[in-house]
């Protein structure tokens, strides 16, 4: 397969390295010092003290590459709108575009089948330009349960997980999704097809919405949160409110609140993404992880007082980075 990784940072770099190791034709879109290192030294993957180096084509301009079979979009959510129009040279009739991103995706209501079918999420795509910039028929939904970090320019360290879940927005079991999952598993991913990718999106989101803002506001690591009864009570309330919003849109998260907390406890002393972004002075993925849930709650007439309060706090904190 010809595979382009747009956003070849932590998860993107990991994805590109695994596909390259399996013999696929991989190119990378990156920027800054990371791009300079990729061009000069190749992509270095560090996993369990093993170092592998992959000499791959890299550019900050997608137009430098030809049409691809698959485009993995591994950007922070606030960077996607500006990138979508730049993908045109990579995408032909049969190209799959796989947004491996956090939070509710801009395409969420494409072929969703409910009352908002085909509508944009206003806080993510206020004028619908994202849905216009890339025909959503190319999209395969994706939820990532893996952790990696860029430890130096051009160097990606894999720290945990290989689980990638993919699924068609219309819930069909398509041949293209099957081909991609097979290629991923052959390349060392642990990939599976989801009957309903939106269930997987919400299952991850109810945890991200709860833990990420709390960690960013307190600078607490995961074990600090789990050792604080008051913070853990807040987490439970946030998860419960988010689950009610999901149910209002036809998605029942298939685990209890305590089961979701148990999943999060596996991260032990980790610094999760918003915590890292605060420390590094980076923008926060506030809207995709929290704001979009607040928007959907209002549209469905669901009261989410604690999610609203946390959203107000983290949105204001994001202005002062």
pLDDT-based confidence at residue 159 (cuts at 50, 70, 90): confident
pLDDT-based confidence at residue 269 (cuts at 50, 70, 90): confident
| 204 is known as an active-site residue | yes
pTM comes to: 0.96
Q: Read out DSSP for 135-185?
A: -GGGB-EEEEEEEEEEEETTEEEEEEEEEEEEE-TT----HHHHHHHHHHH
Tokens of 264: 């999060």
9 in helix, strand or coil? Answer: coil
- From the CB of residue 290, how many other CB atoms can be counted at a distance below 10 Å? 31
All CATH 1.10.1040.10 domain ranges of the chain, comma separated, are 199-318
| Domain 2-195, CATH homologous superfamily name and number | NAD(P)-binding Rossmann-like Domain (3.40.50.720)
Q: What is the pLDDT of residue 267?
A: 82
pLDDT-based confidence at residue 182 (cuts at 50, 70, 90): very high
CB contact set of 301 (below 8 Å; sequence gap of 6+): none
Nearest Cα neighbor of 237 from 169, 287, 308 is 308
Q: Are 25 and 3 in contact (CB under 8 A)?
A: yes
- From the CB of residue 170, how many other CB atoms can be counted at a distance below 10 Å? 12
Is 90 exceeded by the pLDDT of residue 141?
yes
All CATH 3.40.50.720 domain ranges of the chain, comma separated, are 2-195
Q: pLDDT tens digits, residue range 78-106?
A: 999 999 999 999 999 999 999 999 999 99
- What is the CATH number that goes with domain 199-318? 1.10.1040.10
Q: Are 261 and 239 in contact (CB under 8 A)?
A: yes
Q: Are 192 and 198 in contact (CB under 8 A)?
A: no
Q: What is the pLDDT of residue 266?
A: 87
Burial environment of residue 61 by CB neighbours within 10 A (0 to 12, 13 to 18, 19 or more): exposed
Please state the rounded mean pLDDT for residues 41-46.
98
Specify the pairing of strand 96-99 against strand 50-54: unpaired
Please report where in the chains the tokens 């946390």 appear, as a residue. Answer: 310
103: left (phi over 0), alpha (psi -120 to 50) or beta: left
Q: pLDDT tens digits, residue range 281-320?
A: 999 999 999 999 999 999 999 999 999 999 999 999 999 9
131 in helix, strand or coil? Answer: helix
Q: What is the pLDDT of residue 271?
A: 83
Average pLDDT, the chain: 96
Tokens of 130: 């994202």
Which residue is catalytic, options 2, 76, 111, 204? 204
Burial environment of residue 268 by CB neighbours within 10 A (0 to 12, 13 to 18, 19 or more): exposed
Q: How far apart are CA 209 and CA 227, in angstroms?
A: 19
Q: What is the pLDDT of residue 49?
A: 85
Please state the rounded mean pLDDT for residues 224-243.
97
Q: How far apart are CA 100 and CA 280, in angstroms?
A: 22
- The values of phi and psi at residue 219, to 5°, are 60, 30
Please state the rounded mean pLDDT for residues 39-68.
97
Q: How far apart are CA 119 and CA 299, in angstroms?
A: 12
Specify the DSSP class assigned to residue 114: S
Nearest Cα neighbor of 216 from 320, 296, 304 is 320
Taking the chain, what is the end-to-end CA distance rounded to the nearest angstrom? 40
Is 80 exceeded by the pLDDT of residue 127?
yes
Work out the percent of the chain whose per-residue pLDDT is above 90.
Answer: 94
């Amino acid at each position: 397969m010809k595979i382009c990784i747009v956003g070849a940072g932590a998860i993107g770099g990991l994805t590109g390295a695994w596909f390259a190791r399996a013999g696929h034709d991989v190119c990378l879109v990156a920027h800054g010092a990371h791009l300079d290192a990729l061009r000069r030294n190749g992509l270095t993957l560090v996993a369990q003290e093993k170092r592998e180096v992959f000499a791959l084509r890299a550019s900050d301009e997608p137009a430098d590459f030809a049409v691809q079979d698959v485009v993995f979009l591994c950007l922070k959510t606030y960077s996607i709108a500006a990138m979508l129009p730049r993908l045109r040279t990579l995408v032909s009739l049969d190209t799959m575009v796989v947004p491996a991103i956090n939070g509710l995706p801009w395409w969420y209501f494409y072929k969703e089948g409910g009352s908002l079918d085909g509508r944009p999420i206003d806080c993510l795509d206020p004028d619908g330009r994202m849905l216009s910039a890339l025909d959503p028929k190319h999209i395969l939904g994706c939820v990532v349960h893996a952790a990696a970090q860029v430890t130096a320019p051009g160097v990606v360290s894999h720290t945990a997980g290989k689980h990638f879940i993919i699924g068609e927005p219309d819930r069909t079991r398509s041949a293209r999704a099957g081909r991609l999952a097979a290629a991923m598993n052959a390349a060392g991913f642990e990939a599976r097809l989801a009957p309903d990718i939106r269930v997987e999106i919400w299952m991850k989101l109810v945890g991200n919405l709860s833990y990420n803002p709390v960690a960013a506001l307190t600078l607490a690591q995961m074990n600090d949160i789990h050792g604080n009864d008051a913070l853990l009570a807040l987490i439970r309330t946030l998860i419960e409110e988010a689950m009610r919003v999901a149910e209002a849109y036809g998605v029942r998260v298939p685990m209890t609140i305590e089961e979701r907390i148990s999943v999060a406890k596996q991260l032990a002393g980790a610094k999760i993404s918003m915590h890292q972004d605060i420390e590094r002075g980076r923008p926060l993925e506030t809207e995709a992880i929290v704001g979009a849930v607040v928007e959907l709650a209002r549209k469905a007439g669901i009261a989410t007082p604690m999610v609203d309060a946390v959203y107000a706090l983290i949105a204001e904190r994001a202005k002062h980075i």
